[in-house]
Structure 1
Amino acid sequence: MEDVSYQERFWQVISLIPPGSVATYGQVAELAGLPRMARAVGRTLSQLPKDSTLPWFRVINAKGEISFPKDSPAYTRQRSLLEADGIVFMNGKVSLKRYKWQP
């Protein structure tokens, strides 16, 4: 995996997150073999093309929240995609105990 960029390693992990599950930025970094690079996961996702088929929306923060501002179109889009996936929000949060991906 040495010749693969860190972004590609993140994409590979994110592509495996199944419907109905979420992963945290830190978890993606850890599974990619790059602990402590959670912020880089966020940066990588922010640079995805609009038509990307990667399930980017399944990545949330360690508090179980969507990282976009609550009143933004991006927040609304991510929340809609997660709800369509069967994820239930309680007080704006996802239960990591219930929905966190356990590969």
Structure 2
Amino acid sequence: MARPSAASASEAVNGSSRTDSAEAFAEAVLAVVADIPEGCALSYGQVASILGSKSARGVGRVMAQYGHAVPWWRVVRSGGLPPTGHEDRALEHYEAEGTPIVPMSGGRYRLGREALLY
């Protein structure tokens, strides 16, 4: 997949076919994620909202397939919970970036409110 372009968000809305539209949506998601500053995060739903979509699951699908190309750990579940199945790897990134973390029971954690951009 090509590097996201500045026009990706508008292309996602105005794609000429379903395939073009899906590819444009994926590129737009990756562009938004690439712009999330270190130490901060957005939820899947917030990324969708920025793109004028209600599809948090669509954002999740894009991240599952292409997220390795961007700082994937900066996209979290609602409530600041890290991506499912990637908690340990995400924690390494959060600690390296100085992302505020709130410990929870059972060794789990969530991001502090100050890290969330919404």
Q: For the superposition of Structure 1 and Structure 2, which TM-score range results when normalised by the shorter chain?
A: 0.7 to 0.9
**Per residue, is there more helix in 1 or in 2?**
2
Post-superposition Cα deviations, 1:1-43, rounded to whole Å, max 9, x if no partner, equal 2236211111111111011111111110011121x21111111
State the secondary structure of the residue aligned to 1:63.
Answer: helix
1:45 equivalent in alignment to 2:63: yes
Runs (4+) of structure 1 moved beyond 2 Å? none
Change (3 A) 1:49 1:56: closer
Paired residue total: 94
Change (3 A) 1:44 1:57: same
Structure 1 residues without counterparts, runs of 5 or longer? none
Structure 2 residues without counterparts, runs of 5 or longer? 1-9, 16-20, 104-108
1:67 equivalent in alignment to 2:83: yes
Identity of aligned residues (%): 28
Tell which structure's C-alpha radius of gyration is larger. Answer: 2
| C-alpha RMSD of matched pairs (Å) | 1.7
Equivalences for residues 1-103 of structure 1 within 5 A: 1=10, 2-3=14-15, 5-34=24-53, 36-48=54-66, 50=68, 52=69, 54-69=70-85, 74-91=86-103, 92-96=109-113, 98-101=114-117
> What is the TM-score with the length of structure 2 in the denominator?
0.71
| Pairwise CA distance, 1:49 | 6.6
How far, CA to CA, are the matches of 1:16 and 1:49 in structure 2?
Answer: 13
> What is the TM-score with the length of structure 1 in the denominator?
0.80
